[in-house]
Amino acid sequence: MVVEPKRTLRIPIARKITIVVAIPFILLAAFSIPQTRWRLGANLHNQLRSKGEAIAKALASSSEERLVSGNVESLQALLDGFRDVDDVGYLYVTDNTNELIAHTFAIRPPAAVAHRQSKSPDKEIAFTTLTPPELGEHLEVAAPVLFGTLGTVHVGMSTKQLEAELKSATVSLLLQFVVAVFIAILLLAVAVRILLRPLHRVLAVLRKTGTGDLTQTVGALSNDELGDLGQEVDSARARLAIMIARIRQAYGNIQASNSQVTALYEKIVEVIDRQAKVASATSQAASRTNEMATRVTTNTLDLDRLIGTSAAATMQLGASAHAVSEQTDLLFRSVEEAGQALAELTSAIDEIHRNLARVSQGSDETASAMSEMGTSATHVRMTAENTVTEATLMHQLAEQGLATSHETIGGLRAIRESSEQVSRLTATLNQRIEEIDGILKFITEITGKTNLLALNAAIIASQAGAQGKGFGVVATEMKELADRTNAQTQRIGEVIEGIRQEVTRTENAVRVSKTKVDSGVLLAEETGHALERIVSNSNQVAGRVQGMARATTEQAATAERVTRTTEGLALLVANIMRAGQKQAASAQRIFDMATSIQRSADHAKHSTREQHDAAGAINRDLANISEASAAIAAAMQEQGESSGALFAVTEQLNGTVENNRESVLALKAVFQTLAERVVTLNDELRSFNIRQESEDPQ
Amino acid sequence: MTHLCLGQSHMHQATLLCLIIGIFPAPASAAQGVNADTITLGMTSAFTGRSAGLGSELFRGAQAAFQTANQAGGIHGRKIRLIAYDDGYEPAQAVSNTLTLVERDQVFALFGNVGTPTTVKVLPLLLKYRSLPMLMFAPFTGAQMVREEPYLNTVVNVRASYRDETAALVNLFVDLGKRQVAVFYQNDSYGRSGYDGVIRALKPHGLRVVAEANYPRGAAYATSMAPQVRALGEASFDAVVAVGAYQACAAMVRDLRRNGFAGPIGNVSFVGSEALLELLTDAEVKDARIYSHDLYNSEVVPSPEMTELPLVAAYRRDLAAVAPEIPKQLLDPSYVRKPFSFVSLEGYVNATVLMHVLKNAGKELNEKSFAGALAHSSNADFGLGATFQLGDPTGHHQVWIVKADNQRWVPVIR
């Protein structure tokens, strides 16, 4: 970007000098040519007059006899002898009556002569100026013949040749002047051109420099002031080139920094995006965890309630079993009695039958209870399994959350590192800017010096007068260059100041970002801790639920066994009942049957005990489950709290990430401005052509 | 007859003709140009230029007489030798030729000078060579100067003067009832002489020249005379006297006629009547109009057609017999030889008169004998009529008027 200086009409020095030289010549010509012409004219006129006088006098004296004799052809011959004399326009002779008697007029005498008024002839020679329209101006010399007594001889001296001579003399004089002026101007122009050649070289270099081409050097010009000027210009140009090279170098650094910063910025943006994604995922996970926790809690409560129901059922089962045991004992004792008293058998059998009916009833009750219990157990198991699944899921989610939070922390740390790097780079940038500032001050100093130099040159030029006009032009050019350089320098300074401000803003933004990242890291760490706790808690919950599930499964298996036994017992009882009904069969068979019953009773007693024992185990298990579910509930409570905290933290994290994004966006704007400044700076630099980097200006 | 070239003139136009009419050993004579067998005459004349016809015709007429006489044995045993140079009708050349003739060729007398301006310039030389003396015999000019002092003793005039001629023309015009006479003249002493003659001739009639126009000597027939016609036209005129050479005068007649002037135009003898009429006749044929009506000429010899005059008859006989040639050196390509002409007749007459005087001077030819013979020749009859007589230093005054008629000049009987 070159600012074209406003130009007025440009007049080269050579032309000015030419004008200066031409003016005195022209003045000299203007004064001397008319003067010379006048003097020459007067001189020629005098000559013409003398010539005419001589001819007239000669003719007058020669005409005397001819006039006396009236011999006109002789007189005519006399006139004819003079008609071819230079400047003689016409000749004529009048007699003493003023009659025209001989003449040399072509065709006929002009009216002015033919009809001349009669007057007494002059006695003395007379001069008149006649201008007959046919002949032009003539100086007429009238010479009286014998004092006018015979007549008068008139000689018309044509001024035509005189005028022509005057004209040619004037033209020749003018031509001489013109040639002299031309030669003088030519010589002067050559001299001035030779003198100004170095100046033109300087001008060309300055012009090139003005357009940014710093490859041109003035070189050794001459051994005079122009040579000095060339050297000064060269050294100024060289210093300028060095400065621009330095600026360019600085610009390169800035650009490198800028690209680094840009890369980092890209990275930050990426990380922040990822962070935001992770935070969002975390938040989602936390929310889901929360949900899961709630569902786990619900399930646990359900489980508790079911356990309660289960316990009641088990209790009932226990009571039933106890009753069975008692009946069985009673049965045993009866069987023992039967062994002793078969008589009483029928009644006994009836009783047994009744008892058996009751047993059967009890067995049915047990069976239904057992069935109920089995259903409950299955429910419990399913719930437990559900719980385990949920817990596992929660665990997994918590694990995932943990991993995410670790990742978040990692990302935040990366952000922090990037920010720190940005800080360091901005510091470097600041340093470069300081360097450029220094260079700009140097340039300003030089332009100031150049300005001073131009001023001095202008003063010297004005002192040198006309010859100094060239220097004056150079001085003006130098001053313009200095002014332009100053303006450019100020512009560069402004650009640099803009960069500095942007860098400061970057620094601030980075600092803010860093603080925010730091708090984000803290929060993320907290989140991590909370998640870790969730993980361990959910592990515990899962373990417990799994234990519960196992117990429930065992319980269910036991209950099934009880059911099966009870069913077997019922079948036995039914068989017994069918045998009792077939009492009419043999005693042996009864005895056998009694023995068998005894054995069965024994077995039943044993089974019932066993059943009793199982119910106790179930009860114990249920208690255990209840305890575990309470623990789960507590853990869930805790977990819920943690989830809330996590959620809050996640929210905070989200906010931070959002802040980060905003900061980064601000940073981006800054970077863009910075990049624009850098591009502007590059453009400015590109307009300078330095030999060292001329091949690759970028 | 032997032609011998004695030398070439140093002047540009002039060519020397060395004409030896007879070379015989003879005793020494006191007079220059005269020896035992030869009388040498010098002629400077217009053989070339606008008036070439004058010198050439004059030369031929004179030679017819001289050679006839030479063939008859000469004058007292001396043959006439005529050395002729061309002056082109230019005064300076005439002077130069005269000097050559007198100093180098050592002629006895000058013969056949043509023209006023040329002759007027030569005259002072006659005074210069008074001691020889040097005579000028019968110059072809009617100028007054040759007829007056101080040349009365050195110039022998045969022809009538321009005053005589112009007076004859003016009288003719006045008789024709013309009273407004304009003059067209050559702007030199010849023209001035004629102009002066017209003024003098008009005076007794109480008339003046009403208009005048002149032309520069040497003007050609092709030259337009329109300015001159215009100059005359500023005044009212009914007759024109022209005093010039034949080419200019023919041009003037042509342009006057073209301009509608129908009045009489009169030329003097010097114009060369045949040449004038020839030009006009050619122009008439070419332009298919008549220019030569009312065209009069004054002549100093009778018409060569007047064969009833013995001298004219002799002239015609001798010219036809001798048929003199113009020497090649003097021959102008434009000159066409005429069988007979006023000018050649004048040359014949002049030569006859000269030889008559020489014969009368006797064997001893010198200034005295010549002057004596001249004085005694005044009453001689040359066969041109009683009025043509020698003895008057102004020449004789007989003027013949002729008029152009059908391409010929016929005498006007008055």
Give the best residue of B122, B192, B196 to mutate against chain A (max A CB count within 10 A).
Answer: B192
Q: Is the peptide bond before B327 cis (omega within 30 degrees of 0)?
A: no
User: Cβ–Cβ of A105/B214 closer than 8 Å?
Assistant: yes
Which residues on chain B are in Cβ contact (under 8 Å) with A108? 211-214, 231
Q: Which of residues B335 and B347 earns the better pLDDT score?
A: B347
Which residues on chain A are in Cβ contact (under 8 Å) with B197? none
Q: Which of A148-157, A449-458, B342-351 has the highest mean pLDDT?
A: B342-351
What residue segments make up the domains of chain B, in order of their start?
Answer: 2-160+306-396, 162-299
Give me the total of CB pairs closer than 8 Å, taking one residue from chain A and one from chain B. 62
DSSP A121-190: PPSS-EEEEE--TTT--EEEEEEEETTTTSEEEEEEEESHHHHHHHHHHHHHHHHHHHHHHHHHHHHHHH
The pLDDT value recorded for residue B224 is 93
The pLDDT value recorded for residue A461 is 77
Measure the CA–CA gap between A500 and A427, rounded to whole angstroms: 10
Q: Among partner residues A72, A104, A108, which is closest to B196 by beta-carbon distance?
A: A72
Measure the CA–CA gap between A366 and B178, rounded to whole angstroms: 200
How far off is chain A from B189, nearest CA to CA, in Å?
4
Which residues on chain B are in Cβ contact (under 8 Å) with A106? 187, 214, 216
Q: Which of A20-24, A244-248, A323-327, A438-442 has the lowest mean pLDDT?
A: A323-327
User: Cβ–Cβ of B117/A108 closer than 8 Å?
Assistant: no
Position B221, amino acid: Y
Q: Which residue of A has its CA nearest to B123?
A: A74
Superfamily holding A239-693: Methyl-accepting chemotaxis protein (1.10.287.950)
Position A642, amino acid: S
How far off is chain B from A26, nearest CA to CA, in Å?
48
Q: What is the CATH number of domain A13-192?
A: 3.30.450.20
Same fold, B2-160+306-396 and B162-299: yes
Residue pointed to by tokens 């419990």? A380
**ipTM score:** 0.78
Which residues on chain A are in Cβ contact (under 8 Å) with B231? 107-108
Span B45-92, pLDDT tens digits: 999 988 888 899 999 999 999 999 999 999 999 999 999 999 998 999
Take residue B258 and report the two structure tokens written for it. 């073209």
Radius of gyration of chain B from its Cα atoms, rounded to whole angstroms: 21
Segment 55-94 of chain A within 8 Å of chain B by CB: 69, 71-77, 80
Which residues on chain A are in Cβ contact (under 8 Å) with B189? 73-74, 76-77, 80
Q: Which of residues B207 and A311 earns the better pLDDT score?
A: B207
Among the four given CATH numbers 3.90.1010.20, 3.40.50.12780, 3.40.50.2300, 3.40.50.300, the one describing domain B2-160+306-396: 3.40.50.2300
pLDDT higher than 90, residue B237: yes
- What CATH class has B162-299? alpha beta
pLDDT higher than 50, residue A396: yes
User: Residue A579's closest CA among A353, A354, A338, A332?
Assistant: A353
Span A90-120, pLDDT tens digits: 999 988 888 888 999 888 888 877 777 656 6
Which residues on chain B are in Cβ contact (under 8 Å) with A109? 212
Mean pLDDT over A581-600 rounds to 53
Q: Which of A201-210, A385-394, B146-155, B221-230 has the highest mean pLDDT?
A: B221-230
Q: What distances in angstroms separate CA B310 from CA B201, B304, B338, B376, B383, one per listed residue?
A: 32, 11, 21, 21, 5
User: Cβ–Cβ of B191/A108 closer than 8 Å?
Assistant: no
CB atoms within 10 A of CB A532: 16
Q: Among partner residues A72, A76, A106, which is closest to B216 by beta-carbon distance?
A: A106
Q: Which of A27-36, A657-666, B28-37 has the lowest mean pLDDT?
A: A657-666
Q: Among partner residues B192, B211, B212, which is closest to A102 by beta-carbon distance?
A: B192
Q: Which residue of B has its CA nearest to A66?
A: B145
- A135 and chain B in contact, CB less than 8 A: no
Measure the CA–CA gap between B226 and B255, rounded to whole angstroms: 6
The pLDDT value recorded for residue A562 is 56
**What band does B332 get if pLDDT is binned at 50, 70 and 90?**
confident
Using an 8 Å Cβ cutoff, are B324 and B60 in contact?
yes
Mean pLDDT over A79-83 rounds to 87
User: Residue B185's closest CA among B242, B229, B258, B130?
Assistant: B242
Which residues on chain B are in Cβ contact (under 8 Å) with A71? 144-145, 148
Q: Among partner residues B120, B195, B228, which is closest to A74 by beta-carbon distance?
A: B120
Chain B interface residues facing chain A, Cβ-Cβ under 8 Å? 91, 116-117, 120-121, 143-145, 148-149, 187-193, 195-196, 211-216, 227-228, 231
SS3 B397: coil
The pLDDT value recorded for residue A451 is 80
Backbone angle region of A88, left / alpha / beta, with phi > 0 → left and psi within -120 to 50 → alpha: beta
Give the best residue of B116, B118, B120, B228 to mutate against chain A (max A CB count within 10 A).
Answer: B120
The pLDDT value recorded for residue A439 is 76
Radius of gyration of chain A from its Cα atoms, rounded to whole angstroms: 71
The pLDDT value recorded for residue B10 is 40
Q: Which of residues A250 and A565 earns the better pLDDT score?
A: A250
The pLDDT value recorded for residue A673 is 67
Q: Residue A26: which residues within 8 A CB-CB, separation 6 or more?
A: A181
User: In terms of pTM, does the model score above 0.80?
Assistant: no
Give the best residue of A73, A108, A115 to mutate against chain B (max B CB count within 10 A).
Answer: A73
User: Cβ–Cβ of A106/B190 closer than 8 Å?
Assistant: no
pLDDT higher than 90, residue A177: no
Q: Among partner residues B148, B189, B213, which is closest to A108 by beta-carbon distance?
A: B213
User: Residue A275's closest CA among A624, A661, A697?
Assistant: A661
User: Residue B304's closest CA among B349, B353, B345?
Assistant: B345
pLDDT higher than 80, residue B260: yes
Q: Is the peptide bond before B150 cis (omega within 30 degrees of 0)?
A: yes
Q: Which of residues B315 and B30 earns the better pLDDT score?
A: B315
Position B278, amino acid: E
CB atoms within 10 A of CB B366: 17
Using an 8 Å Cβ cutoff, are A217 and A237 in contact?
yes
The pLDDT value recorded for residue A380 is 55
Residue pointed to by tokens 């990380």? A271
In DSSP terms, A128 is beta-bridged to: A140
Using an 8 Å Cβ cutoff, are B274 and B53 in contact?
yes
Take residue A307 and report the two structure tokens written for it. 């356990």
Mean pLDDT over A123-134 rounds to 83
Measure the CA–CA gap between B248 and B268, rounded to whole angstroms: 13
How far off is chain A from B215, nearest CA to CA, in Å?
6
Which residues on chain A are in Cβ contact (under 8 Å) with B248? none
First vs last Cα of chain B: how many Å apart?
44
User: Cβ–Cβ of A106/B213 closer than 8 Å?
Assistant: no
Span A2-18, pLDDT tens digits: 445 555 777 777 777 77
Largest CA distance in chain A: 241
Residue pointed to by tokens 């938040």? A283
Span A483-498, pLDDT tens digits: 877 787 787 778 777 7
Q: Which of residues B145 and B68 earns the better pLDDT score?
A: B68
SS3 A359: helix
pLDDT higher than 60, residue B413: yes
Q: Among partner residues B120, B145, B227, which is closest to A107 by beta-carbon distance?
A: B227
Measure the CA–CA gap between B324 and B43, rounded to whole angstroms: 16
The pLDDT value recorded for residue B52 is 87
Q: Residue B288: which residues within 8 A CB-CB, separation 6 or more?
A: none
